Amino acid sequence: MHLILLILVLLLSPTSLGSGISIYWLDKPLNLRVNAQIQGGVIYIPIEALKNIAEIKTTSQVAKVKYNGQEYNFVVGESKVTGIEKKMTKPCQLIQGEIFLPMDALSDILGLAVKWESKNRRIVLSEATEKPGVVELNFYEDGNKAVLEIEHRGPIKYFVTKNPPDNWQVEITDSSLLKPMPWILLEHPLLESVRVEQLSRDKVTLHLKSREGAVLESKIIGNKLILELMYSVNNFEYRNIGGLPLIQAESRTGLPEPKEYLTEDNQLVREFQGVKLKGTSAKKVINDELADYLEYQQIDDKVVAKIQLKRAITGIMVENFSYARLAKVKAVTTRENDLGTVLEFRVDGDTSLKATKELNTLKIEFKEAEVNNLKNQFKSTNEVKTLNFSQGENDNLIALIGLGSSSGYAIYQKDAHIYSVQIIKSQLKEKLIVIDPGHGGHDPGAIGSYSEEKDLTLDIALRLNKLLQNRGYKVVLTREADVYVPLSDRAKIAVQSNARIFVSIHANGSSNLEAAGVETFYAVGAAESMKLAQVVQKNLVNILNANNRDAKEGSFWVLINNIPTAILVETGFITNAAEEDKLRQELYRQKIAESIYQGIDSYLKSLI
């Protein structure tokens, strides 16, 4: 029985067919357990032949091959290779317990160079010398055209598809990205961005976002694929504007500045470089008192339009043509005047301005506009600090103006081309603030265990004075030392100095030693005083994290005199041991001064 079985196995084994095919790696024979086999005219290579160049893991039915960073699963009896979307011509075979691949899998799937030398009956393997792919991507401008140059190793096969209105896809087949390519954002009027990616193993895709209406032309020069984006024009029309001839273009991209001249035989010529005529060439008869005909055609990379005039025209129109769909912001200048700072924007084409202010930024939206060869003469002043442009929605141009100290703005169109933005100077400096440190001299005010009110209020007042002056406010103190100033004199100082704001600073005392917290008083019925008291109180509570005894009406003498905005701040209870402790700390008193300062500052800003 054993003998018969053995014979049968030998007969069925494919080794008996075409053994003796050796496999070489370059010029060295591979020492393999089994040689290559021929079956049904197909040469099969044992997976073992790849052991020098690939990571191989085999089970009885599957060979996992990792080569060049890619993983391939070869399964016995299957021609589909998992891991990639490719199929071999023949399925894998299991021969003598080893997995074999059809020879074409080595070249087509793994990309190896495979040479079959029938005379020597040997197969020579080597790594494919050069993988075809994209080596470099360059962008440049050429006579108004936007040019993308793709340098490629190996032959270039590509096709272009357009996804309207302005997306283009260029697929390069049998290619790969030989190095990572960035996403390129351009500020070119024709080409907005380029993204290059490798979506499958052998295809590179370029995504281009162009200006709507732009024309894409492609060609291969040597090892380079050249993609050119051009402006386009549909047709030209003739206009007689009050005795002056005009050539008007219908274009979705807008057109670059043309070269314009008058020939000796009275032809008015406009040459548009880097422009594609989308319609057909035409000659249109005019025959009015100025001109005989209008003619336009494509000549190489330019479109030439000309009007045959009846006679020479001495004054050719100086009208500034703007065929573009978008208005163009050409220049910004900065100028200071009595009111503050003026920014002037020079705009060609039709637009309108919309302004919104948020915190310290003034946002100006130019309807359907863009910056174009901007002559930027912006300079920082007290009122304006920065200027930045960006393209917003609906083709609107956004100018963000970082404001310094200002108290408003005015925007107007000065003439056909100039839009003025007046930033108005801050008037805050003119506002006089009177700080009144409570008590003093023989009047100590409330008395605590370790301190007296008059000293604390003077210290806080001096700190507040410093903060306000640093911010540019004009400040007067009712006392600057430990002296007694009668209440009537304090009010007089405020009225005579024409104070805008009067702040009296105190510390509280109570027979209830538990009483604690801050409170701010304003005169009965004084609406502005109430607003100031509320914002100061809010700041004190937030910054000091103190007990809130509210902003409330009070009938203190200093508050009911003739001062537009007056408050009295009780900064804490000197009779409360814990609060006195805090009030005696310098840092705490600084925080009180800061709370009051911020309250005053935001109150004054709210008036602008």
Least distance in angstroms from the C-beta of 418 to Zn ion:
59
Q: What six digits make up the tokens of 479?
A: 């006392």
Least distance in angstroms from the C-beta of 467 to Zn ion:
21
Least distance in angstroms from the C-beta of 522 to Zn ion:
16
Least distance in angstroms from the C-beta of 376 to Zn ion:
57
Q: Which helix (H) or strand (E) holds 402?
A: strand 397-403
Residue 243: CB atoms within 10 Å: 10
Rounded CA-CA distance 368/393 in Å is 9
Least distance in angstroms from the C-beta of 455 to Zn ion:
12
Determine which residue in the list 445, 554, 572, 599 makes contact with Zn ion, applying CB under 5 A.
Answer: 445
Cα angle 211, 301, 143 (rounded to 5 degrees) comes to 65
Q: Which stretch binds Zn ion (CB under 5 A): 123-131, 138-146, 315-323, 437-445?
A: 437-445
Q: Which stretch binds Zn ion (CB under 5 A): 52-60, 127-135, 306-314, 503-511?
A: 503-511
Q: What six digits make up the tokens of 53?
A: 């160049």
Q: Which stretch binds Zn ion (CB under 5 A): 100-108, 151-159, 227-235, 434-442?
A: 434-442
Site string for Zn ion, 458-497 (x = CB under 5 A): ----------------------------------------
Determine which residue in the list 102, 245, 438, 517 makes contact with Zn ion, applying CB under 5 A.
Answer: 438
Q: What six digits make up the tokens of 599?
A: 């309250």
Closest chain position to Zn ion (CB) = 506
Per DSSP, the residues of 70-115 read: EEEEEEBT--EEBTTTEE-SS-BEEETTEEEEEHHHHHHTS-EEEE
Least distance in angstroms from the C-beta of 439 to Zn ion:
6
Per DSSP, the residues of 198-255 read: EEETTEEEEEEEE-TT-EEEEEEETTEEEEEEEEEE-EEEEEEETTEEEEEEE-SS--
Residue 367 phi, psi dihedral angles, 5° rounding: -65, 130
Q: Return the residues of window 180-209 that contact Zn ion according to CB under 5 A.
A: none
Least distance in angstroms from the C-beta of 451 to Zn ion:
13
The residue (of 399 and 558) whose beta carbon lies closer to Zn ion is 558
Side chain identity at 34, as an amino acid letter? V
Q: Which stretch binds Zn ion (CB under 5 A): 162-170, 189-197, 234-242, 445-453?
A: 445-453
Q: Which helix (H) or strand (E) holds 387?
A: strand 384-391
Q: Which stretch binds Zn ion (CB under 5 A): 33-41, 432-440, 483-491, 544-552?
A: 432-440
The residue (of 137 and 569) whose beta carbon lies closer to Zn ion is 569
Q: Which stretch binds Zn ion (CB under 5 A): 37-45, 138-146, 333-341, 438-446?
A: 438-446
Rounded CA-CA distance 209/165 in Å is 9
Cα angle 439, 444, 450 (rounded to 5 degrees) comes to 130
Q: Which stretch binds Zn ion (CB under 5 A): 333-341, 422-430, 433-441, 537-545?
A: 433-441
Q: Return the residues of window 214-273 that contact Zn ion according to CB under 5 A.
A: none
CA proximity to 401, closest of 348, 346, 356: 356
Residue 597: CB atoms within 10 Å: 23
The residue (of 256 and 438) whose beta carbon lies closer to Zn ion is 438
The residue (of 295 and 453) whose beta carbon lies closer to Zn ion is 453
Site string for Zn ion, 504-523 (x = CB under 5 A): --x-----------------
Least distance in angstroms from the C-beta of 495 to Zn ion:
21
User: How far from the centroid of its chain's Cα atoms is residue 64's Cα?
Assistant: 45
| 314 Cβ contact list (under 8 Å, min separation 6) | none
274 binds Zn ion per the rule CB under 5 A: no
The residue (of 48 and 570) whose beta carbon lies closer to Zn ion is 570
The residue (of 463 and 506) whose beta carbon lies closer to Zn ion is 506
Number of residues near Zn ion (by CB under 5 A): 3
Q: What six digits make up the tokens of 469?
A: 């002056």
**DSSP state for residue 257 in the 8-state scheme:** P
Alpha-carbon separation of residue 595 from 278, 301, 561, 571 (angstroms): 68, 69, 25, 10
Least distance in angstroms from the C-beta of 445 to Zn ion:
4
The residue (of 306 and 506) whose beta carbon lies closer to Zn ion is 506
The residue (of 102 and 438) whose beta carbon lies closer to Zn ion is 438
Least distance in angstroms from the C-beta of 482 to Zn ion:
15
Q: Which stretch binds Zn ion (CB under 5 A): 162-170, 364-372, 378-386, 502-510?
A: 502-510
Least distance in angstroms from the C-beta of 448 to Zn ion:
12
CA proximity to 177, closest of 69, 330, 81: 69
Least distance in angstroms from the C-beta of 465 to Zn ion:
18
Q: What six digits make up the tokens of 608?
A: 């602008």
Alpha-carbon separation of residue 490 from 484, 503, 564 (angstroms): 10, 11, 15
Q: Enumerate binding residues for Zn ion (CB under 5 A).
A: 438, 445, 506
